[in-house]
Structure 1
Amino acid sequence: MHADPGRNVSLTKGLFVTFEGGEGAGKSTQMRLLAEALSARGYPVLTTREPGGSVGAEAVRHVLLSGAAEPFGVRMEAILFAAARSDHVEEVIRPALKEGTIVLCDRFMDSSRVYQGITGNLEPAFVETLERVAVNGVIPDRTIIFDLPAAVGLERARLRAASDSPDRFEKEQLETHEKRREAFLDIAEADPGRCRVVDATRPADVIAAEVLGLVESLLPAEGNPQLSNTEKAQ
């Protein structure tokens, strides 16, 4: 949690923002910068991630990223991602939103749509059913998709990892990563009310200013509270 309790701004609702994109797109850095900017203004902010974010989901994270579930097929991986997401939503995200917290999450439902759905070749109906059960009405108010060529992102990920071995998804072929990039852009085009695409090839400070603006526009004006997507679904 990033916040100064002495100068918190009271929100009448929470705000749920997710960060999506390919490997090495800079999601984690931009989430941290946004959290710092919002906290400096007195907003209560919670940063989290997927897979993981809750005790149960973190246990599943190791199984997924280590590749231990890979021999059982993409369908099993999708089910494990959904189980982790459900625990994360109910134990962390929903309670925080009810308290009026701004929740920033590194990956969420769109990553499953892309990684298991598009490049995993799972049936859309199966992916949609898992998503509906896992999120249980908790839909992001804003999804920021960080876009850059897959080759650039993979090189960034390689440099970041240094001596660490690539995880289950980083080690896949460049063609697969480019297909994911296109899939994220397709999601943004299909849901322009929720999604915004950000050019992730630019300097971090330039990107951070744009990201802050995309979230600022969702903060309710004083005395004029708005319902979050989660509250609208209830």
Structure 2
Amino acid sequence: MTFLTDWQSFFPQLLDGLKTSARLSAGALALGMPLGLLLALGSASRILPVRYTVIALVEIGRGTPALVMLQIVYFGLPAQGLSLTAFISATLALALTTGAYASEIIRGGLQSVPQGQLEASGALGMSRMATLRFIVIPQGLRVAIPSLLGLAILIFQATSLAYTIAVPELLQAAYSVGSTTFKYLSVLSLAGLMYLAITIPASWLTGRVERRLARHV
């Protein structure tokens, strides 16, 4: 009963934190997914300097922990004269991480398009850009959707790292309540349940989408 009473008391403040986490993950995905597509296309470029540069950027993005990326953007960019709020810094950092991982997922999807379809488009006189736009990208993204949804769940969970730069997301709200009430077990348990309330249905949806798309493969 003590936990239930505490949860009822803590819920409004944690709900505000959850809303911030949702906005943060939405912004990171809105910026990171298109970036991932551009990087995936760049890694397949016939221009060698472009290809190698993109591959290097992707490897750096994937090899740098999200927490380190947050610190670089939040503390590093202001040192170069760019003044950013903590929320914008966290959004950009998570977007860069999203873009790096999404590029590899999308690249795998693009490469899954049968070579025969590419040859057929060439035989029909379609340009390389038209082939990408109407054949490769639509089919490649369809293959990549389940994995991209899984990545979206991981990015939502990664928003908890933003507490290190004082973004008032869910974990930061939980620590704030815990520091004043000293009921860390109650408040962190509630925060965990609120994360689960998002990630479990999202995981179920991802599996459902994957099974539905598999019917047409």
TM-score normalised by L of structure 2: 0.30
TM-score normalised by L of structure 1: 0.28
Return the structure number with greater helix share.
2
Return the structure number with greater strand share.
1
